[in-house]
Amino acid sequence: MAGKRIVLTGAAGFIGSHLAERLIKEGFFVVGVDCFSDYYSRAIKESNLSKLRSHDQFSFVEGDILTLKWAELLKGVSYVFHEAGRPGVRGSWGKNFEAYLRDNVFATQRLLEAAKGLKELKGFVFSSSSSIYGDAERYPTSEEDLPKPVSPYGVTKLACEQLCRVYQESFGVPATILRHFTIYGPRQRPDMAFYRFIDAMIHKKEILVYGDGEQTRDFTYVSDAVDAKILAMQNCAFGEIFNIGGGSRISVNNVIRLLEGIIGRKAYVKYSDRQKGDARDTAADIKRARERLWYSPKVNIEQGLFEQVQWQLKTPVNCCS
């Protein structure tokens, strides 16, 4: 299957599993890689992989990016999608930072090192984060605005971006950087806000909100994020950086009001102190992605929340708790 072989790290994750399914639909053979890190339950990731494991255009490799034999895995590969990494802003402080360095910075450098000099490699798409901007000086925020992360997690993602840049400039690795703004939808990680809110409301529990709830986020539905990745590959946008937002900037309090309408139940909200590392607001200027990639988000916040609620209602509690 010449020109149709892809390596996808983080294939068992929230976004990676959706991307793998889409790539298969596009006709690619996907080699999925995941180490089942301890950040959240392996059972959730196994559930994410359930459809993929039985597909003849998918093979799975369980292993650590730092120790895998990449010369073999990358043989004949046309594209690499690097989705793996340790997520989460609040958990990146203190002694945990070592794990973020290992899983984000060191792992990315290892993969880039393995990718250099591969003549058949047409693209290396790196999944970055709006966390690199921190408390931005203006909204919407463009790719030209100065990155000023406010969390160790954001620092590691920015370091990964710089590694992509230097490996491109020095060795010609065809890297594209996508700065994603908060992704949500079916299979969302259980530590993320929408998952926690929906789960609490379904089970008539209290919702914990950090801060006053008036902080805003530019939320991106998972299928739109996947579209952006496919478009980056198809348009050969290598050496470029793109903001990928969903066009659904909304406050946390308004998200909860929407969920009340969708679920048909009043939310019980407890407000707590704002957490260190949380940006006050995010908003993506996606002009560059629109013009260069023809990216246009399709799913609005009301529709996206409805889809995530329906998924969580159908998902066994023991799978995602």
Catalytic residues: 153
CA distance 8 to 85: 12
Burial (CB count within 10 angstroms: exposed 0-12, middle 13-18, buried 19+), residue 92: buried
Residue with tokens 């073999």: 72
CA distance 232 to 4: 16
CA distance 188 to 196: 10
Q: What is the DSSP letter of 216?
A: E
Nearest one of 105, 216, 205 to 154, comparing CA atoms = 105
29: which 2 tokens?
């053979």
CA distance 55 to 45: 17
How many CB atoms are closer than 10 A to CB 266? Answer: 10
The CA-atom distances, in angstroms, between 58 and each of 22, 28, 76, 102, 149 are 12, 9, 15, 27, 36
